[in-house]
Amino acid sequence: MSGERAVYIVTGSSAGIGAACARRLAARGAGVVVNYTAGEAAAGEVAAACAAAGGEAIVVRGDVAVDLDCRALADAALAHWGRLDGLVNNAGITVFAPHHNLDALDLADFQRLYAVNVVGPYQMARAVAPALSRRGGAIVNVSSMAGLSGEGSSIAYAASKGALNTLTLSLARALAPAIRVNAICPGLVQTRWTAAALGAEVAARRVAAWEAAAPLGRVLTPEDVADAVVWLLDAQGVTGEILRLDGGMHLGPVPTRAR
């Protein structure tokens, strides 16, 4: 057991944004709990990359919608390192449904999305709060611009991320001053998941449209999001913030760029 490393749990960290967060933290010498629900091999690869970057990682399977799994993630970090410094609530799911087709969603869709995207972060925060309180730790919830705009892959998804933003504010008040709680709201992020979910052709069109409209002229990478997450974990004077990370897209259409 090592008490010297800062230690973080990153939920849903076998790929995408979660994996990028785990690697960024490990590169600073941190211990990281790499969490997955499916894809054990991918989680193992992330853990190996964390070790290669100079950190240390353990792999723990768990569904954040299950309270006992959340408590097991916290227990695993404490059993291995004896401390816990931060939590990245990254695990999330969606369902794709046209917003105009209200029959495309049912009760089960909403319940599952809320169980993972809202109840899961709450349960994780509750599970880690005693340990984080001892160290003055931090929680970052990975939300979405959909939670601010009402757009996104489905109404159920946007609503769940809006609820996560509100949860962030409530937890920031409830856990202060010992624990800081913030959320980050990425816009379009280019990942393998995006292409797989939308199809390569649709994903390419969406990326091109984003690049044409966003003031910064590009879509986000998982590493962009991870950089912002790590900053929020460190930012001692920041709590209760809902940070937009969308390349300036919220500013609206920009004039044609000079070539």
Structure tokens at 210: 């984003």
- What are residue 34's phi and psi, to 5 degrees? -90, 120
Its domain, for residue 137, covers 7-242
Look at residue 73 and tell me if it is in a domain: yes
Look at residue 109 and tell me if it is in a domain: yes
Q: Are 128 and 224 in contact (CB under 8 A)?
A: no
Give the whole-number percent of the chain exceeding pLDDT 70. Answer: 95
140 alpha-carbon distance from chain centroid: 7
In the set 8, 36, 122, 157, the catalytic residue is 157
- The reply to whether 157 belongs to the active site is yes
Q: What does the pLDDT look like over 41-99, one tens digit per residue? A: 999 999 999 999 999 999 999 999 999 999 999 999 999 999 999 999 999 999 999 99
Look at residue 257 and tell me if it is in a domain: no
- What are residue 138's phi and psi, to 5 degrees? -140, 150
Q: Are 23 and 50 in contact (CB under 8 A)?
A: yes
Task: Give the model's pLDDT for residue 150.
Answer: 96
Task: Give the model's pLDDT for residue 190.
Answer: 84
Share in percent of the chain as helix, strand, coil (round to 5): 50, 15, 35
Distances (CA, A) of 31 to 10, 12, 17, 73, 118: 11, 16, 17, 13, 26
Look at residue 249 and tell me if it is in a domain: no
Q: What is the CATH number of the domain that holds 80?
A: 3.40.50.720
Look at residue 254 and tell me if it is in a domain: no
Give the integer Cα–Cα distance in Å for 243 and 232.
9
